[in-house]
Amino acid sequence: MTPSAQQDPYLHLEAVDSPEALAWVTERSDATVADLASGDHAEASHTRALEILDATDRIAWPVLRGGYAYNVWKDRDHPRGLWRRVPWSVLAGGAPAFDHPAWETLIDVDALAEAEGVNWVYAGTVVRRPEDDRALIRLSRGGADAVEVREFDLLERRFVPASEGGFHLPEVKCSVSWLDRDTLALAAPLAEDGSDATSSGYARVARVWRRGTAPVDGAVIFEGNDDDVAVGIGYDLDTGRLVASRSPDFHTSQEWFWRPGGDPVSEEPTRIPVPEDCRVGMSGQWLVLQPRTDIDLAGATYPGGSVLVVPWSAVDADPTALPAPTVLFTPTPSTTVEDVSWGRGRVLLTILDDTESRLEAYAIPGSGPDTDAGPGTSAIPDADATSPTRAPTQWRRLPVEGLPEHVSIDVLSLDRHAGTGTSTGASAGATPHPDDAVLAVSGPIVPPSLVLLRADGSTETLGSTPDRFDTSGIAVSRHVAVSDDGTEVPYTVMRGPGGDGPRPTILYGYGGFNVSMRPSYAALRGALWLETGGVYVVAGIRGGGEYGPSWHQAAVREKRPRAYEDFAAVARALVDTGVTTRDQLGATGGSNGGLLMGVMLTRYPELFGALAIAVPLLDMKRYHLLLAGASWMAEYGDPDSSDWDEFLGLYSPYQHVRPASEVRYPPVLMTTSTRDDRVHPGHARKMTAALEAAGHAVEYYENVEGGHAGAADNSQEARKAVLTYEFFRRRLTSS
């Protein structure tokens, strides 16, 4: 039932582009900019932030494809970015400067936006592998999740127009992959009546789209249900398998496949026989299984959070049951796997150990002589007949040398298909080894480095970002707070230079969707806050992925308040240990972290001196009716069921705003984006209106573009940062 104006007096603010709503937005945004972005300090901060974001001596983070490393580069002259590439041989010799003559510009997004009069934001590329001759370019209007897809010729470096048969997909939320030069696998809601969309607004069907035809006319080869989150489709180049996925909710999925060489139009797919809460990945001849809860396979039980591998050949032999897997990782109370990256001869596991990263590598059996473990490696022990956790295997541990400890590590890219086809890069010089990986390595006060992890396990630093702020006198320490139920909650304190007394402090948290908070480098945080003596704290509360699936599951649905109790416990600990005082303690979070801030405001207002709330969910009565909200009901619950009375309605911030005559709320900065098509800007708008009507201090800023990230270019990113840090600088008292 649609609520009436009496039930929700600010419902009209959900009309994103209505003149009335936009006039309301403009009035408040202009006032906030006039307040927080004015004055010598704010203007100097904006200049400093832009200098950092536009710096030309930063690393161009690469994606490896064939003989090239690709990158999107943004700076003052190119705020929307250049999609460009450089030969692998140049990158392997050291991270090339932004103006190195070897950089080849493929698309100038600023020029494209100006020519077409559209505020395009580059949103990614799907390249035809391993030929690397054609690409599908994803372009977003203002940073929204919905994208327009256009075909691009990498040999001639131009878009392929529809008049020449080029693929073109109008703006839509979609997934797409190449089957061959003239055929795509596409999952997108295209029907005018919405019959091929889920209730979350994503694709319900997958199609085969052939060149020269309309995408909506493509043969439907797979269908999900109306109340699913989404259907996806992809093609495995190594095995020639087309794989479809159906996600009943945000945390579950079913994976279906067609046998190599099969006709997906006339043949039915086969489901991979694993529980829906088991994440399935694949590379080459192998499946990788990452169960969220304990899983039973071949008479043995493997704990949630494990990383298991089985060969595709076993699925082909018996598609009704999987054999005993090889165990690459078993979780412990302090460790979890955050990422699995496949080369041709080795697989890399990114492991979080008390939120700090390390890598483990394993040789992939049957991948050729280059995968021989060699000296200094150890075999994974074979199981005896009674072991429930190991199966006979040829997988072997490989060395990873030279990486620092107490850092954050991301595997940026590795190209398992390097050298396997007629790649355009092959004629440009050397290609990387298919097991070479490029990594980003950083720490809270250690600027990012680009590191090459070679196939033999050795490492080489290709380049490092210069210090963007003065790290002298900044101390980093790890602590735990005790939550209401006795659970120890980790948090990291970054303390700027100065005396030992309490300081203005910003506490950051997220606590949802299995997302981990890691101690990594943030240049704007350092330059605009830490360097001047501020304290910044990152809390690893339940609901996140810091300690694996069980840490996440401890705060979903009816257990959601555990995340809020954890965050409040960290806030109290910071005051109790003398890091800060209540009036000096601010907190911030975005998206699900914005919901966290909303609960802090309405349930724990006595703990904070100020709150910054970004792109938030706040009206949990209607979140499932707005944009992608229905896809998150597995995380939060269903407001149209008893969930509302039992738990959702007990904390939903929008419904719990109280008048200033009854309670003192800390001052609030609320930010969002008009073009956010993931979390509806109506959440932030309505909450702001409710707070204003209740007599509370709230400042509001809505960027006209930027999508869920809140910013579409460096200037907007700088503006967003300055508003936040200036807000805290002015609102957190020094006493």
Catalytic residues: 591, 708
Distance CA 249, CA 634 (A): 6
Strands (DSSP E) contained in 498-594 are 505-508, 535-539, 585-590
| Tokens linked to 44 | 């100097």
Q: In which element (H, E) is residue 282 found?
A: strand 278-283
Distance CA 514, CA 201 (A): 22
Distance CA 561, CA 595 (A): 11
Distances, alpha carbon 421 to alpha carbons 64, 237, 305, 345, in Å: 14, 11, 36, 17
Distance CA 421, CA 405 (A): 38
Q: Residue 267 in 3-state DSSP?
A: coil
Contact in structure between 46 and 52 (CB atoms under 8 Å): no
By residue count, the chain amounts to 735
Distance CA 626, CA 457 (A): 48
Tell me the one-letter amino acid at 510: Y
Distance CA 142, CA 478 (A): 38
Give the residue from 426, 424, 414, 421 showing the smallest Cα distance to 89: 426
Three-state secondary structure along 583-651?
Answer: CCEEEEEECHHHHHHHHHHHHCHHHCCEEEEECCCCCCCCHHHCHHHHHHHHHHCCCCCCHHHHHHHHH
Count of CB atoms within 10 A of residue 193's CB?
6
Q: Residue 426 in 3-state DSSP?
A: helix
Give the residue from 285, 394, 274 showing the smallest Cα distance to 322: 274
Indicate the DSSP class of residue 197: B
Distance CA 593, CA 279 (A): 24
Give the residue from 153, 138, 141 showing the smallest Cα distance to 116: 141
* Torsional sign, CA 381, 385, 391, 392: positive
DSSP 337-403: EEEEEE-SSEEEEEEEETTEEEEEEEEPTTS-GGG---TT-EEPPPP-TT-SS------EEE---SP
